[in-house]
Amino acid sequence: MGTRSEVRSQQVSSRSDVAGTSEPITGAIFSDPMAGGPKRMFLRAGGLSRQAVRRRPVIGICSSWSELNPCNLGLRDLAEAVRRGVTAAGGTALVFPTISLHEQLVAPTTMLLRNLMSMDVEEMIRCSPIDGVVLLAGCDKTVPAQLMGAASAGKPAIMLTAGPRSWARFRDAPVVTDDGWKLASEFLEGRLSAEEADELEDVFCASVGVCNVMGTANTMAVMAEALGMALPGTALVPAGHAQRASLGELTGARAVALAQAETAPEAVLTEAAFDNALRVLVAMGGSTNAVIHLEAIAGRLGLGLGLDRLERISAETPWVLGVRPSGPFSLEDFDEAGGVPALLRVLAPLLDGDAASGDGRTVGQVAERARGRPHPCLRSMDDPFDRDGGLVVLRGSLAPRGSILKRSAAPPEMWTHKGPALVFDDYRTALERSFDPNLQATADTVLVVRNAGPVGAPGMPEIDVIPIPFSLRQGGVREMVCVTDGRMSGTQSGAVALHVTPEAAVGGPIGLVRDGDEIVLDARRGVLDLLVDEQELARRASEPRSGRPTPIRGYEALYVDHVLQADEGCDLDFLVDQVPGRRRTNA
Ligand code: FES
């Protein structure tokens, strides 16, 4: 009996010996003299003409539209725009749905289901009679899930994201997503009345579209563009804007061209493309979640990125974009400055200009022709917000395999810190205990929230805010140093070391921290240390620990058995491609 991956390889190779089972189905099936007839007949139930069901290429429009996902509600209209583009370019478009995941409406966490959605996307692309696919996504996990699935399926693919929603106005001031969390804290502290909270609810989501800051959704939209998997200039156009619909038509036409050229995702998603995306990510201080998602997408192609690569790129790439939460500026400001193409122009000396962009040009050509007005949100590499990237990898005795800190969103005075730990065994406990007036904490305390990782939670849920103890909040403390093996949106103030790996649930040192232990953070040198000697840690490790009961059924059981740690992308181990280039490059 071999290892699990050896057994899997034997199964794959024996499958490919059976005629028909190893080849993904394509639109060619409709012209097959034997098999085509029944398929055409059924397809015509949708009102397609005799000519339409014979046209090639057939482009699937993979839509994560759902009324359970308000961020993605604009995708139904976008699908029609894409369909127009496909038809005008000579193809036939067929829209199909997939799982859709909304950050606020899915419990316990979308991250638990990201991999399931990616499997849905992969299998629907692979098993449907289509020659290529347009991926329509928006809310945080829907973007990486579709890219992961498409990378594994291997058919030509291009993405169009939903775009950010409009700003709201509250108390005569513009309000974006990040403000919502601060206003929720004000409500908890009694500084916002119930009537005002109702009024905020009325106006908060002013339109469809994704959260209107550089959180995970917009970061991943930018990543899709930087990877060459979306047309240049698409990420920031607001949801519902006429320009987004016209970009939908262009995306449909581009999908036809990609299918005709049989350009598989792995021809676009190269090592150079991932290097470029990581540079863009750290240069804009984008979402820390993107580190996990990029690793997972690359893993589907057998390209392990690893935190060493991020560490190197972050040390070489200055932080040049100051959009909230990594600075005071807005997405509109970034759009005015020229958006992603303008950022590529700034970073051009560091980028691989030969990598493919989404419209068939190279990244170098897109950067060269970028337009946009000078704006203080986007600086040059000679005059950056900081000489290092906005994200930094921390390592040390508290995080042997790494941790990520968004330095660009942390106050510089907190980049180096030493303080005693206050440990919460899970997020719920942290929320409950934060109101305890007897909690022993000062502004120097390091808040530790553990058992929030991929196995421990499970699913590595996104923590909205690690609560500052009430007594400190009343004293005016608004920012603290925090450490967790979980994830977080870009909404926390203070300095937060995230994705501590290994997590507590698999024996990581974060599970051994006790109240009062000294923790050292140095975001300039990339250090996260627990100042407890090894003998004491070994003694603590030998003590029995209570754990969460193992799930006994369903997808959750599969997930916990197979999920990888954060530094490996939190994918399921059997979905990672172990052999780069093993798959055919074309259908
Ligand atoms: Fe969907 Fe924020 S909740 S992008």
| Highest mean pLDDT: which range of 162-171, 201-210, 398-407 | 398-407
pLDDT of residue 478: 87
The lowest-confidence range among 250-264, 347-361, 457-471 is 457-471
Task: Judge if the beta carbon of residue 225 lies within 6 A of ligand 1.
Answer: no
The whole-number pLDDT of residue 273 equals 98
Task: Give the contacts of 543 (CB within 8 A, at least 6 positions apart).
Answer: none
In ligand 1, the atom with minimum distance to the C-alpha of 102 is 1
Q: What is the pLDDT of residues 541-581, one digit of tens each?
A: 999 876 666 667 999 999 999 999 999 999 999 999 865 54
Residue 395 has φ and ψ, to the nearest 5°, of: -140, 165
- For ligand 1, is residue 140 a contact (CB within 6 Å)? yes
> 178 in ligand 1 pocket by Cβ < 6 Å?
no
**Polymer length in residues for the chain:** 587
pLDDT digits (tens, 9 = 90+) for 429-452: 998 998 888 888 999 999 999 999
**How many angstroms is it from 107 CA to the middle of ligand 1?**
14
Judged against a pLDDT cut of 90, whether residue 474 lies above it is answered with: no
pLDDT for the residue numbered 414:
95
How many angstroms is it from 304 CA to the middle of ligand 1? 28
Residue whose CA lies nearest to ligand 1 atom number 2: 211
Asked if the model's pLDDT at residue 410 lies above 70, the reply is yes
Q: What is the mean pLDDT of residues 393-402?
A: 97
Asked whether residue 350 carries a pLDDT value surpassing 50, the answer given is yes
| pLDDT confidence of residue 336 | 93
Residue 169 pLDDT > 80? yes
Query: Is the pLDDT confidence value at 145 over 50?
Result: yes
The pLDDT of residue 20 is above 70: no
The CB of 211 under 6 Å from ligand 1? The reply is yes
| pLDDT (average), residues 13-30 | 63
Q: Residue 296 C-alpha to ligand 1 middle, in angstroms?
A: 20
Q: With a cut of 90, say whether residue 492 has pLDDT above it.
A: no
Separation of 211 CA from ligand 1 center, angstroms? 5
Q: What is the pTM of this model?
A: 0.93
Q: Is the CB of 139 within 6 Å of ligand 1?
A: yes
Question: Is the confidence at residue 159, as pLDDT, over 70?
Answer: yes
- 363 CB near ligand 1 (under 6 Å): no
State if residue 73 touches ligand 1 by the CB under 6 angstroms criterion.
no
Give yes or no for residue 425 CB within 6 A of ligand 1: no
What is the CA angle 243-249-251, rounded to 5?
100
pLDDT tens for each residue of 99-143: 999 999 999 999 999 999 999 999 999 999 999 999 999 999 999
| Rounded distance from Cα 117 to ligand 1 centre (Å) | 16
CB 463 within 8 A of CB 426: no
- pLDDT recorded at residue 551: 66
Give mean pLDDT, residues 378-404: 95
Are the beta carbons of 516 and 532 closer than 8 angstroms?
A: no
Residue where the block lists tokens 């805010």: 465
Q: Is the CB of 239 under 6 A from ligand 1?
A: no
Distance from residue 165's CA to the centre of ligand 1 (Å) = 10
Cα–Cα distance measured from residue 104 to residue 106, given in angstroms and rounded to the nearest whole number: 6
List the one residue out of 118, 6, 134 whose CA is nearest residue 59.
134
pLDDT at 496: 94
The DSSP letter of residue 549 is P
SS3 115: helix
Give residue 321 CA to ligand 1 midpoint distance, Å: 21
pLDDT band at residue 493 using 50, 70 and 90 as cut-offs: confident
Is the pLDDT confidence value at 329 over 90?
yes
Residue nearest to atom 3 of ligand 1 (CA): 103
Average pLDDT over residues 355-370: 98
| pLDDT tens track for 73-95 | 999 999 999 999 999 999 999 99
Q: Which of 363, 223, 218 is nearest to 296 (CA)?
A: 223
- pLDDT at residue 12, rounded to an integer: 44
In the predicted model, what is the mean pLDDT of the chain?
91
The pLDDT, as a whole number, for residue 6 is 52
Ligand 1 pocket mutation pick from 211, 236, 287, 464 by most atoms within 8 angstroms of CB? 211
Which residue lies with its CA nearest to atom 1 of ligand 1? 139
Cα within 13 Å of Cα(293), Cβ side:
32
Is 462 close to ligand 1, i.e. is its CB under 6 Å away?
no
**Per-residue confidence at 490, pLDDT binned at 50, 70, 90?**
low
The number of CA neighbours under 13 Å toward the Cβ of 465 is 19
